[in-house]
Structure 1
């Protein structure tokens, strides 16, 4: 892979080399700092490293599977040894990719993965989870995540909903959140990831993260800076970063929803996440009304009262746990 290189020749100049260096028992804090600089130098570097890391995980998983099968099988006869060596060759080639670095070989430690732990919230509920490494997750309503600790990374899979991660710094194991076709990589930072409308929105509050996708048309990774967010769809195409208001972005973690000139359609979509009773609009034109206000998450009564008093909208039940909003006939 052709990638950008750091200025110092003592550091690896490839994704394979960096993975081997980071997994080495001799890896130092200086190495980790140089690695972060190398990632930031080029979006291609981040993509290459993500691919090499993925191959390493697959090779490790295959190695564990073959070891289990070997333990369960009776000792093989000598005449079958040639065939067994041939069968093992693909794994050897995969492992060899991970060993080349700076004119030498680094011995990779065994690939070990802890069992995944799932955390979930019901509709209308929120939850704070302190992870074993000291990181903190805040799960919004109707959210499901799976947390896995691996030797080379801490991984959180967001399966639905929204999560805020306050990441404890660990240079040896980056913190990676996966959502759809994308990966959000951080070392020590504060950020949010939300799955909505078939896509994902990533918002950075502190530190820095690198957002990359496996099969996006743009074919590159993007580094976010504090108070920026971007979105990507199910096809993996990355959108452009845009500025955010921290008070608005972080408000849901305190059980509030802050809206500043928000489209009514978007406001209702946010509120509907917190209740089994769903608000709907009688006409699409109402969705373009701009609304500002501060509401308690899930407090539909206060929202409906504000819309009636400030915007002249009325609400009526229409069956099927739905409440329709329409313009007043007065």
Structure 2
């Protein structure tokens, strides 16, 4: 039994190493298939790592804050245990910051003023007539108010902001290294994977990044990130705002992108094990409340092989000829 527990813990670490490959996914599938006990052991190991993460992170922070203490000149069993304990704490802290396959929230999410869990949406009424609609896996900080209006920092995720103040108060939303501002407008802002996407839904907003400033009116969208600031382009706002109706709408989008988006809303993880399958184009809409049906739909539409694993992990691959 102890051997099985060690193997399960090793799988949690390997899948969280940021270096997991398709071969790892297939090997994990074979390991889980050996018995029900293997699958149960993985679920338990994941729960243990998740429960230990906050304490381990505090240990790591304390070590950084206080610095290393003087070591005894002579090695001792206690010292060795302390070293091993520190190594385990560091590993758990790493998994707390970078959870395996994003199977649980990162501890970084816990410190925001407002946050939403996987699949959760939330409305926040703010000062000066500003209404903040938060989508799944979103973290927001509110900066101290000023005469110029409400200040919001979108740390990650997606939100729709409606600024309907009867006075000329300006709402500003900072995301990455840019700032979006408006007086009376409604806009959608998304900050994921190092890129920010701003869509004006009504009125006019200004997007500023360094010395660059671009005005967006209704129905126009702009992206910025590591590649710089893109041009303002017209866009169909229907798919952009579909999440407000509890829908995900895809119009000729590669399946790999669909899977990445679906994973933001469901517990567990869909994993593509075929690059060719990931390039398949998808024209579909899914209910956010029924995302467990996505794997079955992929199997029916593309003949994919679907393998259900513990912890909500689902492998999607090309069916064998």
TM-score by length of 2: 0.61
Give the one of 108, 114, 124 matched to 1:119: 114
Q: Which residue of 1 aligns with 2:244?
A: 253
The equivalent position to 1:228 in structure 2, one of 213, 220, 228, is 220
Contact 2:127 2:150 in 1 (8 A): no
The Cα offsets for residues 150-205 of structure 1, whole Å up to 9 and x where unpaired, read as: 11221111011110001113553211100010000111111011111112111111
Aligned to 1:327, which of 315, 318, 321? Answer: 318
Q: Which moved more, 1:147-156 or 1:248-257?
A: 147-156
CA contact (8 A) 1:170 1:187 kept: no
Q: 1: distance between equivalents of 2:311 and 2:225?
A: 30
Greater shift in the superposed pair: 201-210 or 320-329: 320-329
Corresponding position of 1:10: none
Shift of 1:292: 1.2
Following superposition, the deviation at residue 298 of structure 1 comes to 5.4
Which position in structure 1 is the counterpart of 2:190?
Answer: 194
Change (3 A) 1:320 1:301: closer
Per the TM alignment, residue 277 of structure 1 is displaced from its structure 2 partner at its CA by: 1.1
Paired residues of 1:271 and 1:298 also in contact (CA < 8 A) = no
Post-superposition Cα deviations, 1:72-113, rounded to whole Å, max 9, x if no partner, equal xxxxxxxxxxxxxxxxxxxxxxxxxxxxxxxxxxxxxxxxxx
Alpha carbon RMSD of aligned pairs, Å? 1.9
Query: Which of 260, 277, 284 is the equivalent residue of 2:268?
Result: 277
- Secondary structure of the structure 2 residue equivalent to 1:123: coil
Report SS of the residue matched to 1:286.
helix
1-structure distance, mates of 2:315, 2:234:
33
1:136 to 131, 135, 138: 131
Cα shift readout 1:97-142 (whole Å, capped 9, x = no counterpart): xxxxxxxxxxxxxxxxxxxx92211111111112232221110111
- Could you tell me which runs of 5 or more consecutive residues in structure 2 were left unpaired when the two chains were aligned: 1-111
CA contact (8 A) 2:273 2:317 kept: yes
Counterparts of 2:166 and 2:212 in 1: how far apart (Å)?
25
Structure 2 counterparts to residues 266-305 of structure 1, below 5 A:
266-297=257-288, 299-305=290-296
Q: TM-score, normalized by length of structure 1?
A: 0.59
Q: 1:147 aligns with which of 127, 142, 145?
A: 142
Structure 2: distance between partners of 1:210 and 1:278: 36
Looking at CA atoms only, which structure, 1 or 2, has the larger radius of gyration?
A: 1
The secondary structure found in structure 2 opposite 1:293 is strand
1:258-297 Cα offsets, whole Å, 9 max, x none, are 1111111111111010123111111222222111111112
- Is the helix fraction higher in 1 or 2? 2
